[in-house]
Amino acid sequence: MIGGSYSSAEFASLRDPEPTESLSSYLAAWRGHAGVSHRRFMDYVAKSDPAAAVALLDDPDYPKHPCWRDAVAKLTGIDQSVLTELATSLGPWPLLPPCRVHACVGCLDDYGSPSGHARSKMWSYATWTICPIHNLPLMQVPAVGWEWMEIAPAQRKANARLMLRPDLVRASVEAAWSRLEQPVRNAIFHAESCAWLSPSGPSPYRDALKYNRFEDRYVWEDLLSFLCRSWERGPAPSLACLVCP
């Protein structure tokens, strides 16, 4: 539909958002479902509200314009409450847009084909460098989900093994990660969990974590260095990948 809008009934078969899925990831899934390119999608939003389009370009996950939901809901038929949840950060420290380039190959492998992948907000949150589900280091990827279909063919060709066969990459990462001593892996997870929960996280989790004692103090130092570096405009390697043998 050119220049029009879509009702929720027209796209009832669009999948539901995955837990902690980002706004940009789900809107990419909608574009794939609707057969609309990213450029055309942004053109439609701009016709409805130019300021909302600018906000989405500035930050495709957490747009600042107060009326962006109106423009996107009108075009896509996605309920505004769903859009609000998608655009709600996990906490006060989401990475800047240029730094949101990591993913868990274990999650990608579980999702199946690239078009079915979904980008988790946890992959672009400053304190998480390992996947809390698979306990694997996050890796830099060119795109996730339908956004993979929107990048240049040369990029897809260069990253075909990573994105089309994440099972093979997952096995390699698991083997390398397992060579790191278990106490160090535990300390990294502990440090990241504490940083995520503090200062405003659920107090029962904070209380439970503070009774764990790890002597790997350098992990905390590396984590602080990672947090500082991640606010730069360019992407940085994850803490877990830095210490992986």
pLDDT digit of tens for each residue in the chain (245 aa)? 444 555 444 555 888 999 999 999 999 999 999 999 999 999 999 999 999 999 999 999 999 988 999 999 999 999 999 999 999 998 878 889 998 999 999 999 998 887 788 999 999 988 788 898 898 999 999 999 899 889 898 988 888 888 888 889 999 999 999 888 887 787 777 777 766 665 554 444 444 445 455 555 455 555 555 555 544 445 555 555 554 44
pLDDT score, position 212: 52
For the chain, the structural domain boundaries read: 23-86, 92-238
Q: Which two tokens stand for residue 166?
A: 């994440």
What's the maximum distance between 2 C-alpha atoms anywhere in the chain? Answer: 61
pLDDT score, position 208: 43
Q: Tell me the torsion sign for CA atoms 71, 72, 76, 79.
A: negative
pLDDT score, position 245: 42
Residue 97 to residue 99: CA distance in whole angstroms:
5
pLDDT score, position 204: 43
Residue 170 to residue 176: CA distance in whole angstroms:
10
Residue 151 to residue 194: CA distance in whole angstroms:
36
Residue 19 to residue 30: CA distance in whole angstroms:
16
Distant-in-sequence, close-in-space partners of 185: CB < 8 Å, separation ≥ 6: 135, 177
Helix H or strand E segment including 156: helix 153-158
pLDDT score, position 186: 78
Q: Are 71 and 51 in contact (CB under 8 A)?
A: no
The pTM of the whole model exceeds 0.75:
yes
